[in-house]
Amino acid sequence: MQAQMIAPETIQRIMDATRIEEVIGEFVSMKRRGTNYVACCPFHDEKTPSFSVSPTKNLYKCFGCGESGNAVGFLMKHEHYTYPEALRWLAKKYHIEVEEEEMTAEQKERQTERDGLFHVSEFAQKYFAQLLYEDEMGKAVGLSYFHNRGLTDSVIKAFGLGYSLDEWDNFTKHARSSGYSDNVLQKTGLTIFKDDGKSYDRFKGRVMFPIYSVSGRVLGFSGRILSKEKQAAKYVNSPDSEIYNKSHILYGLYQAKNSIAKQDKVYLVEGNIDVISMYQSGVENTVASCGTSLTVEQVRLMRRYTKNVTVLYDGDKAGIKAAFRAVNMLFEEGLHVRVVLFPDGDDPDSYAQKYGSTQLQEYLKENETNFILFKTKVLADDVKDDPIRKAEVLGDIVRTIALVPDLLERTEYVSQCSSLLQVPENTLQSELAKVLNRKLYESTKNHTPDPADKDLSEGRQPNPSQDGDSASAADSTGTVETTGQAVKPETTFSFNPAKAQEIKLISLLLNYGDKVIPIEVEDENKQKIVENYSVAQLIVGDVLNYQMPFQETACQTIFNEYATRIDKGEMKVDTQLFVNHSDTTVRELAISLMMREGSNQISENWQKEKHIYVPRPEDRIRNDVEESLLNFELKKLNQRIGNIDVQFPYAKDDDERLMLMAQKMQLQKVCREIGDKLNRVII
């Protein structure tokens, strides 16, 4: 489908209804700071928040990696939506009706490969879910299995569970007849193709657990076999594809994310059924890794929503060892880790089946233990009187404590662990210092200088890059521009003095262009009267009057738009023109300037407590406009003087030299007058 299938009027209604903080809040845990929200950036790894969301401007920007845009752009980048798909997502969220046209088989074939993978995955989930309730074998085998596991119909539907018939190519035939190509069936792994040309369903005869993205898009599947074939794997998972990477996904996060943010805690379990059983028991903030050992990407995904993780594992030795292996990554990423072990032979699902939801929740509360102290107790019990084993345990515990980033937490762990291990506290501190020094040495030895560090030290704008997928944006006509899969650095600008003034004027236009300033002028009778002018009128009027073009192309483009609108008598220019501009440089400059303004606001409560008044930018707009225009004119005059100096040696005769000197003296006089005016500007 193409963008023009959605009417422009509908697009405008969607954009008018959209609140960017609500949209991004669906995917990222944010905290309010002044009028904005801040968070750790979802597009690159960071531990200190540099991602800012402005509800008043309906924009987001990361001051670390440079990613920026509006709600549509965020969905396109974060969820890999096309422009129309992002609009439809917003329309659904804000209950805006969008007329859809059913895709023909030919249109489906024309979809890009990535879109095709998404569409066929969602198609498969709906088909498997339909079989579960409408097919005789689906009900007799698949639905009976879920009911026997104690799952209710409402929970089955909440997780989109389904059943794949025990036939070689039932799903493949159905998908082909619905217009889906063998290419997308193969790349999603839904169908396996043999060299001899035969094909069969990967998940035949299995109950189906769809795996969702954070926004609820189907990415892949996990299928559990119900027959007792010894040669068949108990679980089969979708292979990695362009849309699915199991090491980057947490099962159940789509259903759990709101509860995680609300409770400020996530429970980490081992299996899909554990997640669903916990959810049904009222513990909705539960996730599991997807058919893989816990990965650092999954840990960072959890960290977007909370820093508090409780690991739930079986109470046998294998469960305890699994907990030990998984937790180091959690500590390294700055998370606070607790653990709950179930009685030997039980897991979250079986415990909930035996005792019910109330007792499960009570058990979790009563048996939650700080992980480092739990690990210390377990290993201390294993030491007995073996000095060699005790030294090994001591080293193991110290290495775990060293992973904790917070100094105060480390100190408290040393104190408590020394008591449990019956080792002097200074001995633990000494061993910890050795480990930390070793880590520091290794990190220093392996560090390669970042060019951005040099840029900052020389007062230049840094040019950080990020790891990420394709970035897309739509221009004002609704067409889609894709920058591709490459790493995208933040656009940088050369901030020499003249350009710095250009940037300042454009910033004033974008942030305060429609603000009205009363100006005292003389009427036809030389009487002083006060007239109201917008900031845009003042800036455009002066720049055009003194014929001062902008050197920075992006600045000139934005200024031209304002000049055109002012000439037509318009008082206000919609800044979304620049946010959605087809020129990437214009778009990124506009968003950067709009988000930078006011990003370092000082709390009013702080000012009241300290009895210090710090003027807000909007309180000094008039002075800013006057000062910026004067500085802009001054820089342009100095450039003209510099041009005269360059021309002087090439003058043909004395008359031309005298003319150039006269021009230079006149310009210098004007510069001095501007300098006097600047000294009178109240800052």
**Rounded-to-integer distance, Cα 437 and Cα 414, Å:** 17
Q: pLDDT digits over 378-432, tens only?
A: 888 777 678 888 888 888 889 888 888 778 888 888 998 988 888 898 888 888 8
pLDDT the model gives residue 453: 39
Long-range contacts of 230-239 (CB under 8 A, 24+ apart): 235/291, 236/202, 236/203, 236/206, 237/290, 237/291, 238/188, 238/189, 238/190, 238/202, 238/211, 239/189
Main-chain phi, psi angles of 353, to 5 degrees:
-65, -40
Positions of the chain with pLDDT under 70: 1-5, 99-111, 315-319, 321-323, 384, 443-498, 597-619, 679-683
137 class by beta-carbon count within 10 Å (0-12 exposed, 13-18 middle, 19+ buried): middle
* Signed CA dihedral, 45, 48, 50, 54: sign only: positive
pLDDT value of position 183: 92
Question: From the DSSP assignment, how many helices (H) and strands (E) are in the chain?
Answer: 29, 21
Task: Give the Cα separation of 259 and 268 in Å (integer).
Answer: 14
Report pLDDT digits (tens) over 278-306: 999 999 999 998 777 888 889 988 988 88
**Cα 379 to Cα 371: distance, rounded to the nearest angstrom:** 12
pTM: 0.64
Q: Give me the half-sphere count of Cα atoms (radius 13 Å) on the Cβ side of residue 51.
A: 22
Which domains does the chain carry? Answer: 3-93 (3.90.580.10), 105-244 (3.90.980.10), 250-445 (3.40.1360.10), 493-599+612-683 (no CATH)
pLDDT digits (tens, 9 = 90+) for 122-145: 999 999 999 999 999 999 999 999
- The pLDDT value recorded for residue 147 is 96
